[in-house]
Chain A
Amino acid sequence: MPMREGGVRMKLLKTDNKLGYYLGDSGDYVPIDRITKDHLLRLVNLTLANNVEFDAYDEEQIQNQAHQIVYKSVYEKLYNLRERRQEFIDESERLYLQDYEKYRDKSSQQG
C-alpha cells in the first residue's frame, strides 16, 4: 500500500448523517453495520502503513445505537494502534534478528 505523500491524510472512519462509516475497498465510505473482519484487517493495514485519520467518536454525531457500539470500539482500537504503530511493527521483526544479521552480513560479504 503506497504512502500518501504530503500532509494529506487518509480518513478511515467518518461520521455523517448521524451514522458511522468506514473507508471501503473502492475508496467510498460504507455504513459501519456492513463491516466484516476482513474489512477490519484492511483498516489495520492502512493504519500501520499510512498517514491516517478518523472522525472522533461522538455520541451526538451517531444516533443509531448499533452504529455507536461498533464505531466506538473500532475507533478506539485503531486510534490506539496508530499511536503505537512503530512498536507494533518492530515486535514481529525481533524474532531471530541476531541470526538474521549474522547470516545476512556474512552472505553479503561473501557474495
Chain B
Amino acid sequence: MKKIDLHIHTIATICDSDFNFSIDKLKDYVGESDLDAIAITNHNVFDGMQFRFIREALSIQVFPGIEISLNECHILLISDVSNLDEFEAMTAKVTNRIIDPSDSISIEELKSIFGNLEEYLIIPHYRKKPAIHPETLSEIACYVSAGEVDSAKKFIRAVKDDTRLTPVLFSDIRISEDLSQLPTRQTFIDCGELTLAAIKTCLKHNGKICLSEKDGNRLFQIFEDGQMMSTGLNVLLGERSSGKTFTLDRINSRNENVKYIRQFSLVQQDEASYEREFNNDLQKRKSRFADEYLKGFKSVLDDIMNIDLTKNDREVDGYVSTLLKSAEYADRRDAYSKMALFNETAFSISDDQTLKELIGSVRQLIENVDYRSIIERYLDISALKQLACDLIETLWTRSFENKKKRFVNSLLKDVKESLKIRSSAVQVDDVDLYRVSMDAKKVERFKGIVEFIRKEAVISEESVQGFNVVAKKGPFLSVADVKLASGVKTAFKDVMKEYGDPYRYLQALMSNESLPQAELYRLFSKITYQILNRYGFPVSGGERSEFRLLQEIKDAQNFDILLIDEPESSFDNMFLRSDVNEILRDISKSMPVVVVTHNNTVGASIGADYLLYASKNVIDGKIVYRIYSGYPTDKRLHSTDRYSIANHEIMMNSLEAGRDAYEGRRRTYEVVEDR
C-alpha cells in the first residue's frame, strides 16, 4: 500500500490567506507521515521553479499540478513530470484568466488550454466545498478519476456506493513556516510503481483505495503520530485524569464539523435552571416547527395584508355614483369633458406572478440535485433550459408591455385630473373591477384557510426513542394565549373581539403598531408542541435530559464525527443500556463515534468496534500521556510508540462494575483475558 496526498499548497494566491512556504515543514510532513507521493496543487498557479526546487529536496515522487477554479467549483489537475515547461505554459493561461477569487474558467476554456484531458489526473471537489456541480461533473465525467472528500465519514459513504466517484481524502494543507499541526488526511492506494498512469488505473476501482495501511477502511488516522481510530464506534477508556477529555478536545480541534457532547453539558445542577433551559430548547423547536407549518399561510397573509376592502368599496361606490351623475348631467358637457381622455379608464396590469412562478419551477427542475436522475428519466435538461429561456423572454416582453401601460396610465391620470379641474361636467371615477373582485375572492379564501388552521387537530406526531413529540393546532381561546404567542406586551382585548372574523381580526392586528407586521401570521392559530413520555404524560426532570441527549445524538447525523464525554455522568444505567447504546451503535454505522466512559454499561455492552485507552504515567519525574488502542478482541492494546498493555487489565481498571454485574459479564472478559 502506498500513502499519497495529492492536494498540497505551497504558494499563497488570491484564493488563500497569506502564508510563507517552508520547505523544512514540507520535509517534516512527508517524513512524519510516511508519504510515498505528493502533488503540488496551488490555486490557479503553477510555479515551475518552485516545483523543481521541491522535487530536488524530497526523495519521494512529486507530481506537478494545479487546483483550478472551474464553473464555480475547484478541481485538481495533475500532470506527469515529463514536460514541465509545457505544463507551466498551459497553467500560465489559467493564472491570467483568474484575476479575482470569484473568477472561474469554463469547461471549453479548460479543454482549449490543456488539450486532451485524458493525459491528466483530474480530481474535482466532490463531497467537499466548493463541490462540483452535477452538470459540470457529467460533462467532464469521462476524464475524472476520483472525487475529493473532506472527512472519513464521507469517504466511507462514497466507497460503499458504486454509483459514486472513487473517494480520495487529501490534506489540502498550506505548508506554512508556522504550521504547528501536521495533517492526518491522506489516502492509501494499492499501487506498485507510483506513476500517474498507475495511480489513475487504481483510482478507477473503489477496492484499491482505503484509509489505513493494514485495516482497510475500518480504521483511519486521527493524530499525526499515526494514532488510528475506527470509522465506526470507538470507546475511549481510562482512569480519572488520564487525558480522556484532553484526547477528545484534540480530536475536536483537528477536525472540522465535529459534534461534541461534553460531560454534564445536558445536566444542570439545579432543577429550576435545568427546566428553564429545557423549555427554551422546546420553545425553539416549537418555533421552528410552527414557522415551517405556517410558511404557506404566511405568504397568503402577506398578500391579504395588502388588500383594503374598505377602500375597494369606496372606489366602487365612487364609480357608481359618478357614473350616475354623469348620466344625469349629460347636458353639461363642455370642451374639456368632450376630450376622449376625460372618461378614459386605465389599463389593467397583471403582475405576471404565474409566469414568474413557472420560471421558478423550471429552474428548480434544471438545478435540482437530489432527484436529478428521476427528472432526467422523463425530461431533457437542455430542452428545459430552452423552455426557461423562452419563458424569460416572454416575461421580458410582458414586463415591457406592462411598463408601457403603466406609463400611459400615469399620463392618463395627469390629463384626467387637469381636465376635471376645469370642466363643470362630472368625471366618472376609475375603478379596476377585476382587482376589486379578485381581492374579495382572496379574502374569502383567506377566511377559509384561517378556519382550517384554527380547527383543533394533531398536526404532527413523532416518536423518538420512546418519547412522543406531539404538535397540535387549535384556536386561541383567551387574550392571554395570543399575548403569549406574540411575545409583545400590548393590549389584545379589542383585537380579540374581532377574532371570529379573520379579515377584521387582521385589520385590528395591523392597526396595533407595537406588533411587528412580519410576525402576525403566528397570531391566527395556536400551535402547541409537547414532549410526552412513553405513558403519554409530559416528561419529568430526568426524562428531559434523556430526551435532550437522544436529540443531540440524532443531530450528530449532520456532522462528520461524534464525540461524547461520559454520558453516564448524567444518566442511569437502564437508560444508557436501552436507549443510548442502541442509538450510538446505530449512528456509528454511518460515521465515526468516540465515547469516553468509565461505565461498564456503556464500555462493555455497547459493542465497540475499537478500543482506545488513555493513560498517564510519571516517568523520570515527567508526566507522559499515552494512548493504547486495538480491537475489542485483541489480547493486548498498543501505543504508537510501541508500548503495549493487556486488554483485560484495562477492562478491570477502567470499568467499575458491581459484583453482580461483573459476574454477568465475566464470560465476555474471559475471552480477552491474557492467561
Residues of A bordering B, CB below 8 Å: 32-37, 40-41, 44-45, 48, 64-66, 69-70, 73-74, 77, 81, 88-89, 91-93, 95-96, 99-100, 103-104, 106-107, 109-111
B359: chain A residues within 8 A (beta carbon): 96, 99
B residues within 8 A CB of A37? 341, 344-347, 408-409, 412
Point out the residues of chain A lying under 8 angstroms from B396, CB to CB.
92-93, 95
Residue from the set B135, B408, B410 with the largest chain A CB neighbour count within 10 Å? B408
Q: List B116-144 residues whose CB lies under 8 Å from chain A.
A: 135
B27 to chain A, nearest CB (A): 45
Residues of A within 8 A of B340 (CB): 33-36
The 8 closest A-B pairs by CB, nearest first: A103-B385, A66-B335, A92-B400, A92-B399, A107-B385, A40-B408, A100-B392, A69-B418
Say whether chain B's binding surface is mostly helix, strand, loop, or mixed. helix
> Across the interface, which residues of A come within 8 angstroms of B382, CB to CB?
106-107, 110-111
Interfacial chain A residues near B400, Cβ < 8 Å: 89, 92-93
Chain B residues numbered 357-394 whose CB sits less than 8 Å from any CB in chain A: 359, 363, 366, 382, 385-386, 388-389, 392-393
Known: A37-B412, A70-B419, A107-B385. 7 other contacts (CB 8 A): A35-B340, A36-B341, A36-B344, A37-B346, A37-B409, A95-B396, A103-B389
Interface size of B as a range: 35 or more
Q: Which of A40, A95, A107 contacts B395 (CB 8 A)?
A: A95
27 contacts between A and B (CB under 8 A): A35-B340, A35-B341, A36-B340, A37-B341, A37-B345, A37-B346, A41-B405, A65-B335, A65-B336, A66-B419, A69-B339, A69-B418, A69-B422, A70-B341, A70-B415, A73-B415, A77-B410, A91-B403, A93-B396, A96-B359, A99-B359, A100-B388, A100-B392, A103-B388, A104-B389, A107-B386, A111-B382
Q: In the complex, what residues of A have CB within 8 A of residue B411's CB? A: 40, 73-74, 77
A74 touches B422 (CB 8 A): no
B407 within 8 A of A: yes
Q: Measured between alpha carbons, how far is A70 from B341 in the docked complex, in Å? A: 8
**Contacting residues, chain B, for A32 (C-beta < 8 A):** 339
Decide yes or no: A33 and B408 within 8 Å by CB, A92-B399, A95-B399, A96-B395 being known contacts.
Answer: no
Given contacts A37-B346, A103-B385, contact A95 B392 (CB under 8 A): yes
A3 to chain B, nearest CB (A): 17
Q: Indicate whether B160 reaches chain A with its CB closer than 8 angstroms.
A: no
- Residues on A with C-beta less than 8 A from B399 are 92, 95
Distance from B283 Cβ to chain A, minimum over Cβ atoms (Å) = 39
Within 8 A of A (CB), among B545-568: none
Whether B363 contacts A44 by the Cβ 8 Å rule is no
> Which residues of B lie under 8 Å from residue A73 when comparing CB positions?
411, 414-415, 418
> Mask for B412-441, Cβ within 8 A of A = 1, else 0?
101100110010000000000000000000
